Structure 1
Amino acid sequence: MEDFERLLNESSGEIIEISTSRPDSKMPEWRSDLPEIIPVMPLRGVVLFPGTVAPLTVERTASRRLLDELLPKGRLLGLATQKDADLDVPGAGDLYEIGVLGNILRMVRQSDEKTLVLIQIVERIRLTKFVESNPYLKARFQILENKFPRKGARWEATLRNLRESAQNFINLNPNIPDEAHQALAAIDSPSILTDFLATNLSLDLVQKQRLLEEVDVKKRAEKVQATLNSQLHIAELQQKLRADVEDEFSDAQRRAYLREQIRAIQRELGEGDGTEEQVDDLRTRLEAVGLPEGVKKQTDRELKRLELIPPASPEHAVITGYLETVAELPWNTMSEDHDDLGLAREILDRDHFGLEKVKRRLLEYLAVRKLNPEGRGPILCLLGPPGVGKTSLGRSIADALGREFARISVGGIRDEAEIRGHRRTYIGAMPGRLLQEIRRVGTRNPVIMLDEVDKIGADFRGDPASALLEVLDPRQNDSFVDRYLDVPFDLSQVIFIATANTIHPVPAPLRDRMEVIDIPGYTTEEKLQ
C-alpha cells in the first residue's frame, strides 16, 4: 500500500481530464487523437470503472512486455476482466467484450517479475476485434458513450436520493474512511457518481461487470440504488446489533474493564497490590468446591465487592476472611460409611468392657442406618455419671462408621453465637462452633459430640439450648443458616450425639429431640477388667 501511495504522490504522467464537474455532454479534447488499435491487458478478479485511479500489480510476462513496449510511444491501453480468474494465459475469447480505456500515470519496476503501475480509467470501451495475441493481446475498440435522460424533476430526485443513500451508507459503515464524504460531495457528473458508487459497493464480479456494460446512466443509477438500498438495510441492522451489544455492556462491566486497565498500569509501574491475584485465587478455590447456586451468587457478589475495595480498607480483610471460610467448608465432601456391624461390634468391645445393653442399642442404631441410609434417625443422648466412657463411645461410633469425629463442649456456654455464629458486622466475627469443627474435619457427614448439654447456660446474650433445637431437628437442619455465612448449610448428614450427667436441667423441647441411653457406672470388678 505504501508503494501505491508513493506512486500516486510521485506520478509524472499526464492526467487526462475527466473532471467530475465537467458536463457529460461535452466531448473531451484528448479523444480527438485516439489510436485505432490498443494493447489489451487482462484483469483477474477485478472490474474497473471510469473516473477512478487504480494501482495494479503486474506479474504476467505478457503484461510486463506490454508495458515495456507501450510506454516509449504511448500511454493508452485497454483493460478487460477475465471470465475465469484461474486462467494464467487468457485468450481473446476468455475476456469480457466490454472493458475500459486506461491511461498509465506511473510505473515502477520492483523486480524482474513484478511491476507496479498506476492507471487512470477514462472511458468504457467495446473490444470489437482482436488483431494480435502474441506476444500480448491487441484489439480494435469503440468508445461507449453514456446515454443520459432528459433533465427534469424526477431525474434530479433520483440523483439526490442516490447521493443521500450513499451518504447514509458511509455514516453507518465504520470501515469506510471519512474522506469518502468529501470525495462524494465533489462529484457533480451523474455518470461518474454511479461509477464511483459501483466501484465501492460490495458486489461480486458478475454484478460489477453488468454495471460496467450498462451505458444508460438512468438504468445504471437505478441498479446502483437498488444495491445501495439492500446494503444500507444490512448496515442499519449491523448498527442496531452493535448498539444492542453496547447496551449489554453495562456500567459494571465498563468499571471492571477500567479497573483492569488500572491494574495493568500499576503492574507496569511496579505498584501492584496483589488484589487481582488474590481475587483470582479465591475465585478458583470457590469454583473447585462446587457451591450450591444460592451460595455461588452470594460469593460472586462478595468477589465483585473485593475487587472494588482497596486493600487498606478494614472491609477488605472481612470479605477475604469470609470467602476463605466459604472456600474451606466441605460443601460436597463426604466420608464413605462402613456398614459392617461385625466390625462395629469389635470396635465397641475393643474400646469398652461390659456395657452390653448400651452396645446392643448402639448396634441397633447402626443397623437401622444400614437399612435406611437416607433415613433421619433419632439424636442419641448418652446419660451417665462422669468417667463412664460417654465421650469414648461417641468416638467408637465414628470409627465403626468410618467417619470423622468432632467434639464440642457446650457446658457453660451462655452465648447463642457459639452455635449460630456472629454477624460479620462485628469486629472479630467468626462462624459458630459447629461450622468451625466441620471445616476442621473436612467432611459434611462427621460424628459430632455435643458434650455436657445439661450444663448449657442462658443470659442476656441468648439461649444456646434454643439454638440447638434447629441444629438437632432432622426436618430443619438441612438448611441451617449460620449468621456469619448468611447462606444455608446442610447438616442433615451429620450424626449428633449428646452427653449429659443428668437429664433434668436439659430443657424439655431439647429433651424431646433426643433418645436417652443410660450408661451406668462400672462396678469394682468391671473396673479391674
Structure 2
Amino acid sequence: MLFGRDAGEGELENRTEEEERLNIPEILPILPLKDTVIYPFSVQPFSVGQERYIRLIDDVMRSNRLVVLVAQKSPDIDNASPDDIYRVGTVSRVGRMFRMPDGTVQIAVQGLERVTVDEFTQETPYLMAKVTAKPDKQESDNETEAIKRNVISYFQRLVALVQNVPEGVAAATLNLEEPRQVVYVIATFVQMDMELRQKLLELDSVQEKLIQLSNFLAHELEILELGKKIQNSAQEEMGKMQREYLLREQLKAIQRELGEESEEQATANELRRKIEEARMPEEAYKEANRELSRLEKLPTVSPEYSIIRTYVELLASLPWSKATGAQIDVPHAREVLDQDHYDLQKIKERILEYLAVRRLKEDRMAEQVERERENVDVEDGVEVEKIIPTQPLVAQEAA
C-alpha cells in the first residue's frame, strides 16, 4: 500500500485545533477495508471500486466528510455484512477524491479517532451504524516513556535494514512526543499480520500497545539482522572462492608458459593412466573418461571435485580383468557374505544366484569339452587316458 506522506506529513506530528475539538456524530457510514487497518494520525490513499462504496464516498463528500473505516475479518468477502467486520475502527476524514477513467475512485483519508461500532442502522445501499468514541488510555509514567524510546530505536534500526519505508519517516518519529502517536505512526509503516494490526487498534492502554509493538519490532530485527549476517557471510565465501579460482587459473597459465605440469593436471594424468591399465569393459571405460573430463574442468575447491576423484579412483581400482583361477564355491561364498555383512538378504541372494549361474555354466562347458575329447579318441581308435580337468575351463582362460 502507498502512503500519503506529502499530503499530511505535518498532520502525523501534531493534530490541528479542529481535530482536538472533533465532534463525532452519533451515526456514521461504515466503509469495510480488506487487509488494511487505518490508525489515528495516519494519512493514506486507497482505491474504491464497488458501486455501493462509491455512492458512500459521494454522500460523505456532500456532508461532513467523516466515515468510519473498519477492517474486514476475511479479505475474500466482497460485500461485507455487519458480521464480517470488526467492531473497533477509526473515524476518518476524506481529504481528496479523484475519479479514475476505469470508473474507480481514488481517495485520501486521515485517521482521527478510535470508535466502537455499537448498532447498525442501515445495510443498503451501504452500511451505517451508531458509533461511540473510544479514546486511548494514555499513561505518562517513566516506564511508558522508556518503552516508547525503545520502540523508536527499534524502528530506526529496522528502517536501515529494509527498503520499503519512505525516507524521513525514521527521523520524523524522533519528533513525536505522545506515545500513542509513536504507536500509530510506526504501525502504519511496518509490515505485520492483520491480526496484530487490529489488536494494536483495539487495545485501550497505550503502554500495552507499545509493549506489543516493541516485541514485534525486536523479533523482526533479530530475523533481519541474522539474515543480513548470513548474506554477508555467503558473499564473503563466494568472493573467496572466486579469488582462489582466478589465482589458480593464473597459476595454470604461468605453468603452461613455463612448460610445467600443474598439480591438478598431474592428478588427472595419473587417473587417466590407471583407467587405461584397468582394462575396463567398454561401458565402464566411457563412464570413467566422462567423469575424468568433468574433474579436469572443476576447481579443486569445489565440493564435487573430491567426490568425482574418489569415484574415478574406485572405478580404476576394481579388478575388471583379473581372476584368481579358483573354482567357484557357492557355500563358501555364502559363509563369507554372512560373516562380513549383516542382513542385506536380498543383495546376498542376488550375488549367490549370479555365482551359482557362473558355476553351472563352467561345469557344463567342462562337460562339453570332456565329451568332445572322448569322441575324438573313439574316432581315432586309440585308447587315450581321460583327462580330468582340475578346474573349470573359463577359470583357466582367465588365468
TM-score higher than 0.5: yes
Give the alignment partner of residue 20 of structure 1, picking from 13, 23, 46: 13
Q: Tell me, what secondary structure is at the counterpart of 1:250? A: helix
Q: What do residues 182-228 of structure 1 show as CA deviations (whole Å, max 9, x unaligned)?
A: 23223222111011222334432122111100121111111212222
**Over residues 9-61 of structure 1, what are the superposed CA-to-partner deviations in whole Å (9 max), with x where a residue is unaligned?**
6x6xxx698552469xx8834514x4332211111122221111112121222
- Select the structure that is richer in helix: 2
Q: Deviations over 1:489-509 (max 9, x none)?
A: xxxxxxxxxxxxxxxxxxxxx
Alignment match, 1:374 = 322
**Aligned twin of 2:227:** 238
CA RMSD of aligned residues (A): 3.9
Aligned 8 A contact 2:36 2:71 in 1:
yes
Return the letter of the residue paired with 1:144.
K
Secondary structure of 1:111's counterpart equals: coil
Q: Is the 8 A contact 2:155 2:170 kept in 1?
A: no
Alignment map for 1:189-268 (pairs within 5 Å): 189-253=178-242
Q: In the aligned structure 2, how far is the partner of 1:39 from the partner of 1:106? A: 17
Distance in 2, matches of 1:95 and 1:212, equals: 14
Task: Give the aligned residue type for 1:103.
Answer: R
- Tell me what 2:30 maps to: 40
For residue 251 of structure 2, the aligned residue among 287, 305, 315 is 305
Are residues 38 and 241 of structure 1, via their aligned partners in 2, closer, same or farther at CA, if it must alter by over 3 Å?
same
Equivalent residue runs for 1:31-430 within 5 Å: 31-32=22-23, 34-149=24-139, 151-173=140-162, 176-253=165-242, 303=249, 305-306=251-252, 315=256, 318=259, 332=275, 373-374=321-322
Tell me the equivalent position of 2:395: none
Q: Which amino acid aligns with 1:205?
A: M
Closer/same/farther in 2, CA of residues 373 and 70 from structure 1, 3 Å limit:
closer
Q: Is the 1:16–1:122 Cα contact (8 Å) retained in structure 2?
A: no
Instruction: Assess, with a 3 A threshold, how the Cα gap between structure 1 residues 315 and 208 changes in structure 2: closer, same or farther.
Output: same
Contact 1:21 1:189 in 2 (8 A): no
How far is the alpha carbon of 1:324 from its aligned partner?
9.2
- Matched residue SS, 2:100: strand
The question of whether the paired residues in 1 share the 8 Å contact of 2:19 and 2:112 is answered with no
Provide Cα deviations, 1:479-529, integer angstroms capped at 9, x if missing partner. Answer: xxxxxxxxxxxxxxxxxxxxxxxxxxxxxxxxxxxxxxxxxxxxxxxxxxx
- For 1:97 and 1:83, how far apart are their aligned partners in 2? 10
Q: Classify 1:234/1:17 alpha carbon distance in 2 versus 1 (closer, same or farther; 3 Å).
A: closer
Say which SS state the counterpart of residue 249 (structure 1) adopts. Answer: helix
Q: Unaligned regions of 5+ residues in structure 1, if any?
A: 260-300, 338-370, 377-529
Give the aligned partner of residue 524 of structure 1: none
Query: 1: CA distance between counterparts of 2:64 and 2:260?
Result: 82
Q: Distance in 1 between matches of 2:320 and 2:72?
A: 83
Partners in 1 of 2:261 and 2:106 — Cα distance? 65
Summarize deviations over 1:98-157 as a string: whole Å, max 9, x none: 0011211222222354222221112111112211111111122122112111x3433322
1:51-80 deviation line (CA, Å, top 9, x unaligned) = 111121212221111112221333211111
Q: CA 1:79/1:236 → structure 2, altered by over 3 Å: closer, same or farther?
A: same
Q: Please tell me whether the aligned partners of residues 20 and 189 of structure 1 are also in contact (alpha carbons under 8 angstroms).
A: no
Q: Distance in 1 between matches of 2:143 and 2:255?
A: 75
Count of matched residue positions in the alignment of Structure 1 and Structure 2:
285
Distance 2:109 2:257 in 1: 68
The Cα shift of 1:254 comes to 5.6
Whole-angstrom distance in 1 between the partners of 2:265 and 2:218: 59
Which whole-Å CA distance do the structure 2 matches of 1:168 and 1:52 have between them? 21
> Which amino acid in the other structure matches residue 185 of structure 1?
L
Q: Structure 2 vs 1, CA of residues 22 and 82 (structure 1 numbering), >3 Å: closer, same or farther?
A: closer
Whole-angstrom CA distance in 2 between matches of 1:255 and 1:38: 70
The answer as to whether partners of 2:280 and 2:321 remain within 8 angstroms in 1 is: no
Q: d(CA) in 1 for partners of 2:92 and 2:161? A: 33
Cα distance in structure 1, aligned partners of 2:179 and 2:320: 90
**1:148–1:305 CA distance, 2 compared to 1 (3 A):** same
- SS of 1:230's equivalent in the other structure is helix
Cα offset, 1:330, TM superposition = 6.6
Which amino acid is the alignment partner of residue 28 of structure 1? E
Q: What per-residue deviation string (whole Å, max 9, x for no partner) do you get for residues 458-489 of structure 1? A: xxxxxxxxxxxxxxxxxxxxxxxxxxxxxxxx
Structure 2 counterpart SS, 1:87: coil
Q: Kindly tell me: are residues 153 and 27 of structure 1, through their superposed partners in 2, closer, same or farther at Cα, counting changes over 3 Å? A: farther
Amino acid in structure 1 at the alignment position of 2:251: R
Paired residues of 1:78 and 1:100 also in contact (CA < 8 A)? yes
Q: Which has the larger radius of gyration?
A: 1
Deviations 1:374-420 (A, max 9, x none): 379xxxxxxxxxxxxxxxxxxxxxxxxxxxxxxxxxxxxxxxxxxxx
Q: How many Å separate the matches in 2 of 1:249 and 1:322?
A: 23
Tell me how far apart the structure 2 counterparts of residues 303 and 126 of structure 1 sit (CA, whole Å). Answer: 72
Q: Structure 1 residues 40 and 175 mapped into 2: Cα distance closer, same or farther (>3 Å)?
A: closer
* Matched-pair contact (CA < 8 Å) for 2:145–2:179: no
TM-score w.r.t. structure 2 length? 0.60
